[in-house]
């Protein structure tokens, strides 16, 4: 009988993927950047671009050497301004050259990055900046006025601001200034006490911060859980992110030294998925990252892929689905044939989305899994081996897993049974900042003293080590005395030919007090039609009767997080508001 201690998953690794990567480099995360600058200083690390009138798509390549030297200057500046080791620095920017410089500059200064979604409403942004106790913020001019407005609610003392145009070619910078800067909200009146990003770099050019940063120092505050309650800052060390960078690289390329891979950087860098799987993994292998500031702008994303020919595209199912259904893609007006491999995470990957994207590109999408609490990848389907439909794949090297009873977390269930997924590995968070109770509920020691991350995800593992997420524990519904998992219902409805997107959530039963009901929110494909009766009949052929939603709403968009997760609690909240009205 197979047990979790047998680690059956390692038998199904791609050739060349090691079973263990220990010992991991005892280096800070920015060591990968410094090694890249030493080995290939003139190789482009990042490509920043924009499509402008008359010029079309213009681009500026920034080398490993340039990013590393600019990060050194930023680090020296932060230390001179009073940054102390372990202090948090907020970044409020989309994917950009400036984000990379700020991120590595903070690390070199001994600081800890707390990056926030720049599109957050002011109150939510203020909460995160205040919660992490940041006294420094580095922001894009587009969000500068929001920072100024919320500053009195925070401990912020130093504001460094940059304009998105700063890393465009000179002609494009001029046209941007004339045609778009003011209209799009990038032009600002900077206060005298604040600092221009480029002025800071110029003043401290050639300098370095005299700070010793070790593997055990704090590296990242990744906020998580905002869709299910108060946002929590998962604290990660340099060692954790170095380990996960090495794990991700090994999974993509095994023991081989990759060539110059080109990453399509659409996943937000303010999320651990983007900063580890795209940026840090890309840098560790000498790759180039195509910067996509707004992945929701599918026109821009597709144009970047068509022009720059990426080979690796980490993404989320909603993004792949949007590309599949874009008119230019369907008409064959763009060439996505350069894409060789994609790593999909953050949400379940519908088989139909995977099949169509692979048909279009000729590449392969492998579904994976990860958490901000173990930043960030923990599982993946083999790149070249067997991809099992509906599976998040195999635990990565040095991961250990077990499935425990939902009712009794001390009880380890036999392989194949459904329960809560628990994980142990070299990259677990230290805990949630200033939240000891939540930390104790999530990180638990077993009888040997080993720390396990209790994920809150309902899952099972088959006898070959492939894992399957059934749903979030908090999203499980009780319908007619049966446990129902919204993800299973979504997967069934996504197979309907008229459905583009679907979100399913639990709502209070409108007729039976104290009971629950399922409701499906549906986005239809352009030109397609369907009725609730059509969808119910279709679902009845795929689901148990008690799993079939009897309530539907047709909408234009499904609320999602920045990395593509369906915000089930948000759509349920909207339902309650509508009901109360």
pTM: 0.85
pLDDT in the model for residue 473: 66
pLDDT in the model for residue 227: 38
Q: Is residue 515 part of a domain?
A: yes
**213, 237, 262 - which closes a domain:** 213
The average pLDDT across 107-113 equals: 98
Q: Is residue 3 part of a domain?
A: no
pLDDT in the model for residue 580: 45
Local structure of residue 108 (DSSP, 8 states): H
Q: Is residue 362 part of a domain?
A: no
Q: Which of 499, 500, 474, 475 is nearest to 486 (CA)?
A: 475
pLDDT in the model for residue 561: 76
- 414 Cβ neighbours under 8 A, 6+ residues apart: 1
Residue 514 — very low, low, confident or very high, per pLDDT cuts 50/70/90? low
Torsion of the alpha carbons at 239, 240, 241 and 245, rounded to the nearest 10: 100
Q: Is residue 398 part of a domain?
A: no
**213, 235, 268 - which closes a domain:** 213
Distance CA 69, CA 72 (A): 5
Provide the number of structural domains found in the chain.
Answer: 2
Least confident of 47-51, 150-154, 225-229, 375-379: 225-229
Q: The domain that contains 156 carries what CATH number?
A: 3.40.50.980
Q: Is residue 267 part of a domain?
A: no
Contact between 475 and 228 (Cβ < 8 Å)? no
What residues make up the domain containing 168?
66-213
**Mean predicted lDDT score pLDDT of the chain:** 91
The CB density around residue 86, as the number of other CB atoms within 10 Å, is: 10
Residue 247 — very low, low, confident or very high, per pLDDT cuts 50/70/90? very high
What CA–CA distances, in Å, run from 81 to 138, 150, 175, 225? 13, 21, 34, 33
pLDDT tens digits, 432-470? 999 999 999 999 999 999 999 999 898 999 999 999 988
pLDDT tens digits, 21-39? 999 999 999 999 999 999 9
The average pLDDT across 188-192 equals: 96
Task: Judge whether residue 202 has pLDDT over 50.
Answer: yes
Q: What residue has token string 């003392």? A: 157
**188, 213, 238 - which closes a domain:** 213
Task: Judge whether residue 188 has pLDDT over 80.
Answer: yes
Give the DSSP per-residue string, 481-539.
TEEE-HHHHHHHHHTSTTEEEEEEEEEE-SSSTT-EEEEEEEEEPTT----HHHHHHHH
The average pLDDT across 551-575 equals: 79
- 525 Cβ neighbours under 8 A, 6+ residues apart: 325, 497, 498, 499, 500
Cα atoms found within 13 Å of the Cα of residue 558, Cβ hemisphere only:
26
Task: Judge whether residue 77 has pLDDT over 60.
Answer: yes
Q: The domain that contains 499 carries what CATH number?
A: 3.30.300.30
Q: Is residue 243 part of a domain?
A: no
Q: Is residue 241 part of a domain?
A: no
Task: Judge whether residue 272 has pLDDT over 50.
Answer: yes
Q: Is residue 30 part of a domain?
A: no
Distance CA 511, CA 400 (A): 45
- Return left, alpha or beta for 555; rule: phi > 0 is left, psi -120 to 50 is alpha, else beta: beta
Residue 538 — very low, low, confident or very high, per pLDDT cuts 50/70/90? very high
H or E segment to which residue 99 belongs: helix 97-108
pLDDT tens digits, 317-350? 889 999 999 999 999 999 999 999 999 988 788 8
């Amino acid at each position: 009988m197979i047990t979790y201690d047998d680690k059956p998953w390692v038998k199904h690794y791609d050739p060349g993927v090691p079973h263990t990567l220990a010992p991991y480099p005892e280096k800070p995360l920015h060591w990968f950047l410094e090694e890249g600058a030493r080995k290939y200083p003139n190789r482009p690390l990042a490509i920043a671009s924009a499509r402008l009138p008359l010029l079309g798509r213009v681009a500026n390549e920034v080398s490993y050497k340039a990013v590393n030297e600019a990060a050194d200057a930023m680090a020296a500046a932060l230390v001179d301004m009073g940054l102390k080791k372990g202090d948090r620095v907020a970044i409020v920017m989309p994917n950009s050259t400036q984000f990379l410089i700020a991120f590595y500059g903070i690390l070199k200064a001994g600081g800890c990055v707390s990056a926030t979604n720049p599109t957050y409403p002011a109150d939510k942004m203020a909460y995160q900046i205040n919660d992490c106790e940041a006294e420094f913020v580095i922001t894009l001019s587009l969000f500068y006025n929001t920072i100024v407005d919320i500053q009195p609610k925070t401990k912020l003392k130093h504001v460094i601001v940059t304009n998105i145009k700063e890393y465009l070619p000179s002609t494009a910078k001029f046209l941007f200034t004339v045609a778009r800067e003011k209209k799009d909200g990038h032009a600002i009146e900077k206060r005298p006490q604040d600092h221009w990003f480029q002025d800071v770099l110029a003043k401290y050019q050639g300098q370095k911060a005299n700070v010793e940063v070790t593997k055990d120092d704090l590296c990242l505050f990744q906020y998580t859980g905002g869709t299910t309650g108060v946002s929590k800052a998962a604290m990660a060390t340099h060692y954790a992110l170095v380990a996960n960078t090495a794990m991700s690289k090994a999974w993509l390329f095994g023991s081989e030294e990759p060539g110059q891979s080109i990453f399509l950087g659409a996943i937000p860098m303010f999320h651990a998925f983007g900063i580890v799987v795209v940026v840090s993994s890309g840098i560790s292998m000498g790759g180039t990252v195509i910067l996509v500031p707004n992945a929701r702008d599918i026109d821009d994303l597709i144009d970047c892929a068509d022009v720059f020919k990426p080979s690796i595209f980490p993404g989320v199912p909603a993004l792949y689905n949007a590309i599949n259904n874009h008119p230019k893609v369907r008409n064959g007006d763009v060439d996505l044939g350069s894409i060789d491999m994609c790593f999909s995470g953050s949400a379940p990957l519908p088989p139909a989305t995977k099949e169509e994207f692979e048909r279009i590109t000729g590449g392969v999408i492998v579904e994976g899994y990860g958490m901000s609490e173990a930043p960030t990848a923990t599982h993946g389907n083999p790149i070249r081996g067997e991809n099992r439909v509906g599976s998040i794949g195999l635990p990565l090297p040095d991961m250990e897993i077990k499935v425990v009873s939902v009712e009794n977390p001390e009880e380890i269930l036999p392989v194949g049974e459904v329960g809560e997924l628990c994980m142990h590995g070299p990259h677990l968070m230290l805990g949630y900042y200033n939240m000891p109770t939540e930390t104790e509920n999530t990180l638990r020691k077993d009888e040997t003293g080993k720390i396990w991350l209790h994920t809150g995800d309902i899952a099972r593992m088959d006898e070959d080590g492939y894992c399957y997420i059934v749903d979030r524990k908090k999203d499980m519904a009780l319908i007619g005395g049966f446990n129902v998992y919204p993800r299973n219902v979504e997967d069934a409805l996504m197979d309907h030919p008229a459905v583009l997107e679907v979100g399913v959530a639990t709502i209070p039963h409108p007729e039976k007090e104290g009971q629950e009901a399922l409701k499906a929110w549906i986005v239809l494909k352009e030109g397609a039609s369907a009725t609730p009766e059509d969808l119910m009949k279709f679902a009845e052929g795929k689901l148990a009767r008690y799993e079939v939603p009897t309530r539907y709403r047709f909408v234009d968009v499904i609320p999602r997080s920045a990395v593509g997760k369906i915000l089930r609690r948000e759509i349920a909240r909207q339902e309650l508001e509508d009901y109360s009205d």
